[in-house]
Every structure is written in C-alpha cells, then in structure tokens.
Amino acid sequence: MRDSRIETVKVKSLESGVRWILKRTFFVDFIKGLMVTLGYNLSKGVTLRYPDEEKWIPYRRFRGVHTLNRDLDGRELCVACELCVKACPTRCITVVPMEDSTGKGISDRVAGVWKVDLVRCLFCGYCEDACPTTAVRLGRGYERACFDLSSAVLDKEKLLLPEEVPPDLDGGVIVAASFERTGAGMKVNADFTKLKGDWLKMQG
C-alpha cells in the first residue's frame, strides 16, 4: 500500500514535470487568463451604466432631498410651525411663517420662507418625524453634485415642485437614462417607462 503510493507520487511528479514544460512552452496559463477576460468581455456586464445609459431609482423609504407636499386640493400642507427647524440636528432648515388667508395653504399660516441647506443636511429624517401635517418628506432625489454651494440651498418653490420619480413607481429598479451636458449644467434624464429590472435580482 505504502509502496504503491510512493510510486504514484513519483509517476505524478514525472508527469507534472512534462506538463510544466508543455505549459511553459504553449503559454497555457496565460491563455487561461485571457479566456477569463475574454469571457467577461463577452458576458453580460454587472456595472450600472450611470449616468449615460441607466439610473437607479431608490426605494420609497429612501431619505433623499426634501419635498414639500400639498393636500388633494392642491393646498400647501406646511403651516410653518417650525418644528422641523427645531428638530433638525444640523440646523439646516430655515422657516419664516406668514399669513395668507387666500386658501393657498391648509391654514392661514403658511411658510413665507422654507429653505434647506443640503450641504449641512445629514438626511436623518427628523424633520419628517417632527412634521405634524406630513408636509415635509425626504424624497428620492439624490443627484446633488454641484460646482457652486449656493445651488445646494433649495427654497420653497423648488421643494414644492412634484418629484421627478413618479409616485407609483416602487423603486429599487433601474431605468433607462441619458446624460446631458449643456451650457446650463449637467443633467441625467431618466425614462421611467423603460424599466431595466430589479437591481437586487440583477446582483444575483
């Protein structure tokens, strides 16, 4: 038993010696490596081609850029109670109330100024929790790269605009997108009708 085993080892070492020479001669390992590269080159990619072709749409629970909301009649929900300001740990929200009895808001008290400094914001969501009227919500916007910090301060007019992501879209998906660079700035145009599938599943 013991002897035969020793023999086998000997044979193997003889064979491996030959193989070693052959491998060295014909660059086998090198070609194997190239085959892997070639395989990946030919297989379907896992890279998210953001922003040129694709864009990831966050889940509903995502805490992105703030939104100010309206009720079903289109009245502003914010009553400028300033509780979000009070709750904010980074003091990035500024609210100044004013009176407006034209029915613009759900009460006579509306926000004259409502702005948030996203450079300071840490997206903790305390403002959402504090809001008694569900006026402020952290939305699904996350593209805040900019060259000028002043554009990181969003005011009431911008925050009241409807969100880019359609409310009925669940999120966690990738959609088709294109990247646009103009004199005014850069923009990622997403096409929410072209779903490219669930991002998690795509990860296998």
Partner 1 sequence: MDKMVTLKVNGKEVTVKEGTLILDAAKEAGYHIPTFCYQENLSGVGSCRICLVEIEGQKKLQPSCVTPVMPDMSVKTDSATVVAARASMLEFLLSNHALDCPVCDKGGECELQDMVYKFGPRKGRFGEEKVRHHEKDYILSPVIIKNSNRCVSCMRCVRVCNEIVGRAVIGAVGRGAHQEMTSFLRSRLDCDHDGMCIEVCPVGCFMRLPYRYTARTWDLKGAKTVCPYCATGCAMAIEERDGTVVRAIARLGEGWNDRLLCARGRFGYDVLNSAERIKTPLLKVRGSFKPVSWDKALDIVRDRFTKADPQKLGGVASARLTDEELYLFQKLMRSVLNCGNIDSTSRWDDRAAAAFISEAGINAGGVTLYDCMNADTVFVMGGTISDENPVTDYIIRCTSAGRFMNVIIASTRAMKLDSSALLSVRHTPGRLGPLINAVVLSLYGDSRERLKGVEGIAAVKDSSVDELSGACGVQAAAIKAIAGKLRAASSVSLLVGTDFLRLKDGLSGLGLLKRALGALGKELKILPFLDRTNQRGAWDMGVHPLFGPGYREVEAGLGCHGMLDRAAGDGMDALYVIGTDIVGLYPDRGFAEDALSKIRFIVVQDTFMTETAEMADLVLPAASFGEKAGHITNQEGRVQKISALLKPPGEAKTDLEIIASIGSSISPGSMEGDPDAVFEEIIKEVEIYASAASSGEAGWLAGEAAAPVCGVMVKKGGSLREAMHRKAVEAGVPAGEAGSKPAADPDYPYYLVTGNHLFHSGRLSRRSGILKGLLMDPAVEISGSLAEELGIADGDRVEVRGRGYGARFFARIRKGSPRDVVFIAENFCEASVNRFFRRGETVPRVNITVLK
Q: Is the dihedral of CA 59, 78, 132, 93 positive or negative?
A: positive
Burial of 80 (0-12, 13-18, 19+ CB in 10 A): buried
Whole-number Å distance between alpha carbons of 2 and 172 = 61
Whole-number Å distance between alpha carbons of 102 and 183 = 39
The least CB distance from residue 152 to partner 1, in Å, is 21
Whole-number Å distance between alpha carbons of 113 and 116 = 10
Considering only the stretches 47-55, 56-64, 95-103, 160-168, report the one whose residues sit in contact with partner 1 under the rule CB under 8 A. 95-103
The least CB distance from residue 111 to partner 1, in Å, is 10
The least CB distance from residue 157 to partner 1, in Å, is 20
List 57, 65, 68, 80, residue binding partner 1 (CB under 8 A) = 80
Residue 97 within binding range of partner 1, rule CB under 8 A: yes
Site residues (CB under 8 A) for partner 1, limited to 116-135: 132-133
Please list, in sequence order, all residues whose beta carbon lies within 8 angstroms of the beta carbon of residue 51, skipping any fewer than 6 positions away.
177, 178, 179, 188
The least CB distance from residue 194 to partner 1, in Å, is 42
The least CB distance from residue 130 to partner 1, in Å, is 10
Residue 86 within binding range of partner 1, rule CB under 8 A: yes
List 49, 63, 109, 158, residue binding partner 1 (CB under 8 A) = 109
DSSP 174-187: EEEEEEEEETTEEE
Site residues (CB under 8 A) for partner 1, limited to 143-202: none
Please list, in sequence order, all residues whose beta carbon lies within 8 angstroms of the beta carbon of residue 12, skipping any fewer than 6 positions away.
none
Residue 108 within binding range of partner 1, rule CB under 8 A: yes
Binding site for partner 1 (CB under 8 A): 79-83, 85-86, 96-99, 101, 107-109, 132-133
